[in-house]
């Protein structure tokens, strides 16, 4: 039977589903030093994930999420039509790797038209296998560049919250450092895969 709640099963790996809320910190890497992307650390400043963007991979519209040892967990690619008309939505697809290196599709994200990257425009994500009867399973509410948004499941439950500590915000107005609170039972690889796409869509560290 398919899960009816977002935390019913992991999307990518149960190894990254914590039994308690996890508050992780994202630190953007400068393009000029390390090719961009970002690093995710826990409360003890231990690296949990690293996301490489096109400045590292040398391929536009491609991202890779790695674990702390550098092993690739998620490959994310943007698929776009040859004609970029206003009615065309570019889609992102996230893939995992099996033990033989074959790719398996685990989620899709539809990128809004650039003219529609507004504060109240929800970005929606569907997973494989599907988790609801809607044409999407998760959506992003709020505005990512402001570091004030959340990832919500199809039932309306917040599964991850993206924000900035006020003390940090006063020191770093460019928002290169922010935190993500991931709810218990939620797949952290999936959450940061979605955040990597948001980072690219809004022209931040993963984009050249």
Low-confidence winner among 15-24, 55-64, 84-93, 94-103 (lowest mean pLDDT): 84-93
Where exactly are the structural domains of the chain? 15-201
* pTM of this structure: 0.87
Number of residues that make up the chain:
208
User: How many CA atoms lie less than 13 Å away from 41 in the CB half-sphere?
Assistant: 11
Give SS3 for 192. Answer: helix
- Concatenated DSSP letters of 140-189: EEEEGGGTEEEEEETTS-EEEEEE--HHHHHH-TT--EEEEEE-TT-BHH
Q: Is a pLDDT exceeding 70 seen at residue 88?
A: no
Fold of 15-201: Porin (2.40.160)
pLDDT band for position 170 (cuts 50, 70, 90): low
Q: 71-81: per-residue pLDDT in tens?
A: 999 999 998 65
């Amino acid at each position: 039977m398919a899960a009816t709640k977002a935390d019913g099963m992991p999307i990518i790996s149960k190894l990254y589903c914590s039994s308690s809320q996890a508050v992780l910190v994202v630190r953007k890497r400068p393009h000029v030093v390390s090719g961009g992307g970002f690093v995710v650390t826990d409360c003890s400043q231990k690296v949990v994930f690293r996301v490489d963007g096109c400045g590292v991979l040398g391929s536009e519209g491609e991202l890779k999420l790695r674990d702390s040892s550098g092993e690739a967990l998620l490959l994310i690619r943007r698929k776009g039509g040859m004609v970029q008309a206003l009615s065309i939505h570019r889609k992102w697809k996230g893939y995992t790797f099996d033990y033989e290196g074959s790719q398996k599709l685990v989620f899709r994200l539809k990128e809004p038209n650039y003219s529609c990257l507004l504060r109240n425009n929800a970005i929606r994500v569907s997973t494989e296998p599907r988790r609801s009867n809607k044409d999407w399973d998760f959506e992003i509410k709020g505005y990512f560049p402001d570091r004030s948004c959340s990832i919500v499941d199809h039932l309306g439950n917040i599964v991850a919250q993206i924000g900035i500590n006020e003390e940090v915000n006063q020191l770093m107005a460019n928002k290169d450092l922010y935190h993500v609170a991931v709810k218990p039972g939620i797949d952290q690889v999936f959450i940061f895969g979605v955040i990597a796409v948001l980072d690219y869509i809004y022209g931040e560290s993963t984009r050249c």
